[in-house]
Amino acid sequence: MRVEIVDVGPRDGLQNEEKTLPPKVRAELCDRLAAAGVSRIEAASFVNPKRVPQMAGAEEVMGKINRRPDTRYAGMALNERGYERATSSGVDEVRYAFPVTETFARRNQNMGVEEATEVATRLVRRAHSDGVRISVTLAVAFGCPFEGRVEPKTVLEIAERVGAARPDEIVLADTVGVGVPSQVGELVEGVHKLGITVGCHFHNTRNTGFANAVAAIEAGASVLDASVGGTGGCPFAPRSTGNIATEDLVYLLQGMGYETGIDLEALIDCAEWLASHLGKELPGQVYKAGAFEPVSG
C-alpha cells in the first residue's frame, strides 16, 4: 500500500521559528524535498505577513522554486484573499484550513466556525471552476487549547458539510498534539464514510504523533502531513510544538512495508541542511540517529 506524504516544512515547519528564512532559502528547501522524492510540498502560506512574518514573500517563494513535473506544490490559505494570491502564484493545490472551535477560529482568522465553513464551500466551488486541486483542513479536530475537548460529533458534522462540496481531500489536524489513536480511528473512519480522501496532520507535542499516524493509516487515511526535521508549531496556539518529522515517518512506514516513494537518505540530508540554516538541532530523531534496515516479519 502506498501512503502519500505531504511535507509541510516550508510552511508549518517554519512559521513558528524565531529565525526567518528568506524566500530564496525556503524555495531551495522545496527543491531539496522534491529531489528526495516528496511528491507534495506545502510550499508557502498566503497569509498576512504582519501576523506571520516568517511567511512573508510567498509569491517570491513560488517564483524561485525549480518546479518538477512529478511534484505538486501547494499553498496554504485562510480566506478568499489568500486563495486568490495562491492561485495567482501558480500553485497546483490550495490548502484551506480553519479551526472547528469558535475561540480558535476567531483568534486564527478572525471569523466564526459557521462563516469559515461557508468560505470552505465557496472556495471548493471556485477551485473546481478554476481547475485547481483543493483540500480542506479541519484544525484542532482533536482538542483546542482554548475550549478543551472537541466532540467527534462536532468534527464529523462540519466534515459532512464541507464534504458536500466535494473537495479533493479533507485533512484532520491535531494542531496542538492532544489526540490519541482511538480518537484518530473514530474520526478517520467517520470522514472516510463520506467517500472523500482522508488526510491527517499530527503534531508530536505529547509524543503521540507517530502512534496516531499509524492509527490513521489503519483506519483508512491515505495522506499524512509531516515536516522535515520535526519543525513547526502554530503562532496562535499556546505551547504548540512541532509536527511529526517527515524522515521519522518515512522510516516508520517503510519499515512497516508501506510505499512512500521517498529516498530516506536524501531526506535525512535535507533535515541536516535545514538544521544548519536554522542554526540549531531539530526535534527529529532519524536525521540524528541515521537509517537502519528493519527486520521484517
Q: Count other Cβ atoms within 10 Å, centred on residue 231.
A: 28
The one catalytic residue in 30, 144, 234, 270 is 234
| Residue-wise DSSP of the chain | -B-EEEE-IIIIITTT-SSPPPHHHHHHHHHHHHHTT--EEEEEE-S-TTT-GGG--HHHHHHH----TT-EEEEEESSHHHHHHHHHTT-SEEEEEEESSHHHHHHHHSS-HHHHHHHHHHHHHHHHHHT-EEEEEEETSS-BTTTB---HHHHHHHHHHHHTT--SEEEEEETTS---HHHHHHHHHHHHTTTS-EEEEEB-TTS-HHHHHHHHHHHT--EEEEBGGG----TTSTT--PBPBHHHHHHHHHHTT-B----HHHHHHHHHHHHHHHTS--S-SHHHH----PPP-
234 is catalytic: yes
Do residues 218 and 225 touch, judged by C-beta distance below 8 A? no
C-alpha to C-alpha distance for 270 and 29, rounded to whole angstroms: 8
Active site residues: 234
